Amino acid sequence: MKPIVTHVARADHGEHRYFGERVLSGLLGRETYTGLMALAVLGRSLSREDVEVLDALAVSVTAADPRIWPLKVARLVASYGEMLAGFAAGQLAMMGTYVSPRIIGDAAEQLARLQVTLDGTRGSDAEGDVVGAHVAATPRLAGYGIPLRERDERFDALRAFMARRGRAEGAHWRAQEALSTWIWREKRLAPNIGIGLAAALLDLGCSPVQAGAFATFLIEHTFAANAFEAAGQREPLMQRLPADRVEYVGAPRRLSPRAGRSATSR
């Protein structure tokens, strides 16, 4: 049987290896939790400065309102008292197409393509043409449009942070700015946090697939918070809504053919 090769970890005698690092004699005291997450996704350590950007991304994307759909799933399932069940169910609710950090993977893939074609056009008349052609060739542009409000406050805060930290000159961040400027001018659609995360993660050296995975892991604390609280509350209203808060819109009451025959034969 051919062994499955892993680069993740191995339990040694007296030590544990993790992506080429020695956990106890190398990482302990040096690496942060976010840095470990970077190791998990990228398979390599990031610099302290890059980990600070990751921390900022995690903070900026924090939207933990329990009413947000996947978080609601976590609370509903955790309402019987088991935090981990709620946490796991909430994670599954992120496997969708629309309410999902996976969209950041799509945004990153699109942005990476744009960055390649934009290269060398910065500030020239050709820049707008390149962006316009990119938008025309991208059927479902990820990272734009914001539900329930006009601007995404999380994107605006991240943009300010990136400027303050001198990170706004990254190639993908600049591509994002060119794209966002064009889309606002032509379509009046504002950028959301997804395109900001995608650009920042690409500039940290992530592939689009890694960017999508990172975006998922960076919000896990929001599920932890909701699942933990909901498990402790064991809220009856989460376990069961009052019947008068449910409206039945399905098939009307009907008699089955066999019940009908049974009734007529009596």
Give the interface with other proteins as residue ranges (CB under 8 A): 1-10, 17, 19-20, 43-44, 65, 67-68, 82, 84-85, 88, 92, 147-149, 241, 243, 245-259, 262
Backbone angles phi, psi at 121, to 5 degrees: -100, 0
Q: How far is the CB of 148 from other proteins (least distance, A)?
A: 4
Nearer to other proteins, 209 or 255 (CB): 255
Nearer to other proteins, 132 or 260 (CB): 260
Q: What are the C-alpha distances in Å from 42 to residues 88, 207, 213?
A: 23, 9, 10
CB 63 within 8 A of CB 222: yes
Q: How far is the CB of 159 from other proteins (least distance, A)?
A: 19
Q: How far is the CB of 39 from other proteins (least distance, A)?
A: 9
Contacts of range 231-236, beta carbons closer than 8 Å, 24 or more positions apart = 231/78, 231/79, 231/81, 231/82, 231/83, 231/86, 233/79, 234/79, 234/80, 234/81, 235/75, 235/79
Q: How far is the CB of 65 from other proteins (least distance, A)?
A: 6
Q: How far is the CB of 84 from other proteins (least distance, A)?
A: 7
Nearer to other proteins, 17 or 113 (CB): 17
Q: Both tokens of residue 46?
A: 């990031």
Residues linked to residue 115 through DSSP beta bridges, in sequence order: none
CB 71 within 8 A of CB 222: yes
